Chains A and B, each alone.
Chain A
Amino acid sequence: MHDTGATDAQDMAARIAAHPWATTPLGPRADWPQALKTLVETILVVPFPQILAWGPELTCVYNDAYRPLLGRKREALGRPFLDVWAEAADVVAPALDQVWQGHSTAASDFPFVLLRNGEPEEAFFDFSFSPVRDETGAVAGVLNVAVETTRRVASDRDRRESDMRLGAVLEQMPLGVALAALPSGALLYHNPKAVDLLGHPMLAAADTAGYACYGALHDDGTAYGPEEYPMARAVLGGETVDREIMRYRRGDGRETWFEVSAGRVHDSNGDPVLAVSTFHDIAARRAAEAALLDRGHRLRESERRLRSLIEGIPQLVWRAVDAGNWTWASPQWTEATGLDEADSHGHGWLQAVHPDDRETALAAWRSAGEAGHGFTLEARIGPPDGRAWRWYRTRATPVLDEAGGIVEWLGTCTDIDDLRRMQDQQGVMVAELQHRTRNLLAIVQSIATQTVGLSDSLESFESHFADRLAALSRVQGLLSAGDPETVTIGALVRLELDALAADLDGDRIACGGPEVPLRKRAVQTLSLALHELATNARKHGALSGPAGRLDVHWRIRDDDGEHRVVLDWTESGAPLPAATATSRHRGYGRRLIERALPYSLGARTEFVLDDRGLRCRIDLPLTLKDNREVAG
């Protein structure tokens, strides 16, 4: 018989019918025992692979289904089983021995290489060896039945492989994975990452109530109820939880934050088979987010403070690039100059600088641009209409990057106008003071010289000089108290009369007149003259004895087209002055009145000393100074 190709589906019934059984130990088919015939009929109709090995030689008869198992083997019909399966003799022989003793054996998932679809393929079979008996009841042969389990074996293997792959994935995943059974929620598995994240191994939980042992916490620090866990919600309600934030107290007591997802897993029929929960630790992310938020807050806070500072400080603040191209100006700048912020960009700010100071500013920018360091300059700044220039001190500083390159310029302008004015005024005042002092010294020198000339003894000199110095000193007090033009005639008169009247009755002296300010340069000379009059009145005149009186009155005279103030000094009721000894010092006063007052003050004076008493008239011009009328 030739080897059959595996592809053609042989009709074994036909081949058995056609086989020359007489050449085999079975002998002609017609002479077969009934049991054998029946068995052959049976195996031909049962679709499972079967081979019958009859007789001591184990002669083979097989069915169509068995054919593929034989692969490329030589035609097995009529040949001894152990011959056909010589390569499996080790495995088969013991089984056959068992069968001859009347026992069935079976094996499962035995691998075969079949030639099924023209290609060798691996296949698996469960098979059995069973004794078959003849009419006498003795074991006459072996029935070998094979049931193919290839599909199951393959799918088992696939599933095993898939489980292994899945297992490897789970083991190595950087995500914590937990699996729970459905419908109970019993915990099945935590991967290593989960254990690591939780800080404890999988806890025993036969159902969702067992989740209570886990450490999830609400914001207020209270523990999750077991049904609140995402896994429980997936188990019990089929919920799909997507990335919830969960606060968790780990096994080591440390608190952290997880992002948790959970849901059911379904098979290909759509039935839920498992619940799975995945999670990862977001503590670091939360900390980073919090830090970022905090930094954002602090940055905004810092910006707010900076803005408040810039808006609150009186300085004008600006930013510029290159050599004086402004990019920004603060609100104070606009307030001080009337220039819009945008109009000040580039070199627009120059409009708000006094024309005479613009070149100074540009020159400062040029040299700063070359040298790369800041500068300070003083210039007048104000609205371009030029009606309100004020002096400002401007400071510009370069802002450097890490490499030392200039990124931009930052500048402030400080209003120093008041300071400058005060400094100018101070300068004027200091000069004035020096002048006044030198003047005073010159006058003292003059008085000294004059008094020396009039004195016939040192005692006389000392007393007269001291007296005149005292008068001069008194009037300095009036002069130094503020604006000199506020010294009035009345103030001077009262000053001298007060010095006099300390030891006299109040009703012997009368004075009065309108408030008339005196020109600064008139004050000293007039006071000296009044002092001499007063001294003379006390020593020789109306106040030297008990009976005299003194009247000092002044009024404004407005006639003959002239505007003047007239002061009358009238001493009366005194011992006749003409008869008393006059000292040369009395002449000093007269001289002051008759010569100094006209010379220095443009006064017209009359000095009359007769037996009625002393009458002195001082007639001063009134002129305008700073829109006020002043005398002298």
Chain B
Amino acid sequence: MTARPLRSLDGRRILVVEDEFLIADDLCNGLAARGAVVVGPAPTVGAALELVARTTRLDGAVLDINLGGEPVFPVAEALLKRRVPFLFTTGYDAFHIPPRFATAERYMKPVKPAVLAAALFG
């Protein structure tokens, strides 16, 4: 009953930061099904920053803006420094995003892995 996936993310190492397990799980499965190597998922800023520090090679990241009340922007900052492309996912209409990340794309949950793939890697 599973669809035949496009393997558009073949080998890409993608960080997933999402605090809701079922959503994170779904996203990871979706990315893995398209050939990505999932880094994480991490439910908190702390866990995510640790992964960012430890992982030598990162090709992209999906960041849930609101991690149980904690904004994810420190992680975005770290990724920005490493020039790792990322996008935001959120359930909120108008979460205030700091101006420096204003150019990053924002997707409403639930988000499709195919959409993410296209957004991160064109």
The chain A residues found within 8 Å of chain B, CB to CB, are 431, 434-439, 441-443, 445-447, 449-450, 452-453, 455, 519, 521, 525, 528, 592, 595-597, 599-600
Q: Mark B68-112, 1 if CB is under 8 A from A, else 0.
A: 100000000000000000000011111100000000000011100
Task: Give B24's nearest chain A residue, CB to CB.
Answer: A599
Contact B29 A439 (CB under 8 A): no
Residue B35 is within 8 A (CB to CB) of chain A in the complex: no
- Which A residues lie within 8 Å of B25 (CB)? 446, 450, 595-596
Q: How far is the CA of A431 from the CA of B19 in the complex (A)?
A: 18
Contact B92 A442 (CB under 8 A): no
- Which B residues lie within 8 Å of A592 (CB)? 21
Shortest beta-carbon distance, A83 to chain B, in Å?
Answer: 145
Contact B2 A431 (CB under 8 A): no
Contact B91 A439 (CB under 8 A): yes
- Which B residues lie within 8 Å of A453 (CB)? 1-2
Interface of A is mostly: helix
Q: How far is the CA of A525 from the CA of B23 in the complex (A)?
A: 11
Contact A446 B26 (CB under 8 A): yes
Contact A596 B110 (CB under 8 A): no
Interface size on B, residues (CB 8 A): 24
Number of A-B contacts (CB under 8 A): 73
- Which B residues lie within 8 Å of A442 (CB)? 20, 22-23, 26, 91, 109-110
Task: Give B67's nearest chain A residue, CB to CB.
Answer: A521
- Which A residues lie within 8 Å of B95 (CB)? 431
Contact A446 B92 (CB under 8 A): no
Contact A431 B94 (CB under 8 A): yes
Contact B68 A445 (CB under 8 A): no
Shortest beta-carbon distance, A196 to chain B, in Å?
Answer: 89
The 10 closest A-B pairs by CB, nearest first: A435-B91, A442-B110, A596-B21, A438-B91, A446-B22, A446-B26, A600-B21, A599-B21, A442-B23, A438-B109
- Which B residues lie within 8 Å of A445 (CB)? 26, 110
Shortest beta-carbon distance, A458 to chain B, in Å?
Answer: 9
Contact B22 A438 (CB under 8 A): no
Contact A435 B66 (CB under 8 A): yes
- Which B residues lie within 8 Å of A452 (CB)? 1-2
Q: Contacts A434-B92, A435-B90, A446-B23 known; list 11 others, CB within 8 Å.
A: A431-B94, A435-B92, A442-B109, A445-B26, A446-B26, A447-B22, A452-B1, A453-B2, A528-B22, A596-B22, A600-B19
The chain B residues found within 8 Å of chain A, CB to CB, are 1-2, 19-26, 29, 41, 43, 66, 68, 90-95, 108-110
- Which A residues lie within 8 Å of B2 (CB)? 452-453
- Which A residues lie within 8 Å of B43 (CB)? 599-600
Q: How far is the CA of A519 from the CA of B41 in the complex (A)?
A: 21
- Which B residues lie within 8 Å of A599 (CB)? 21, 24, 41, 43
Q: How far is the CA of A595 from the CA of B28 in the complex (A)?
A: 14
Shortest beta-carbon distance, B33 to chain A, in Å?
Answer: 11
- Which of A434, A447, A596 is B91 in contact with, Cβ under 8 Å? A434
- Which B residues lie within 8 Å of A447 (CB)? 22
Q: How far is the CA of A445 from the CA of B23 in the complex (A)?
A: 8
Q: How far is the CA of A445 from the CA of B110 in the complex (A)?
A: 8
- Which B residues lie within 8 Å of A519 (CB)? 68
Q: How far is the CA of A599 from the CA of B19 in the complex (A)?
A: 8
Shortest beta-carbon distance, A488 to chain B, in Å?
Answer: 19
Shortest beta-carbon distance, A143 to chain B, in Å?
Answer: 145
Contact B92 A431 (CB under 8 A): yes
Contact A521 B91 (CB under 8 A): no
- Which of A435, A449, A595 is B26 in contact with, Cβ under 8 Å? A449
Q: How far is the CA of A455 from the CA of B108 in the complex (A)?
A: 29
- Which of A431, A441, A521, A597 is B109 in contact with, Cβ under 8 Å? A441
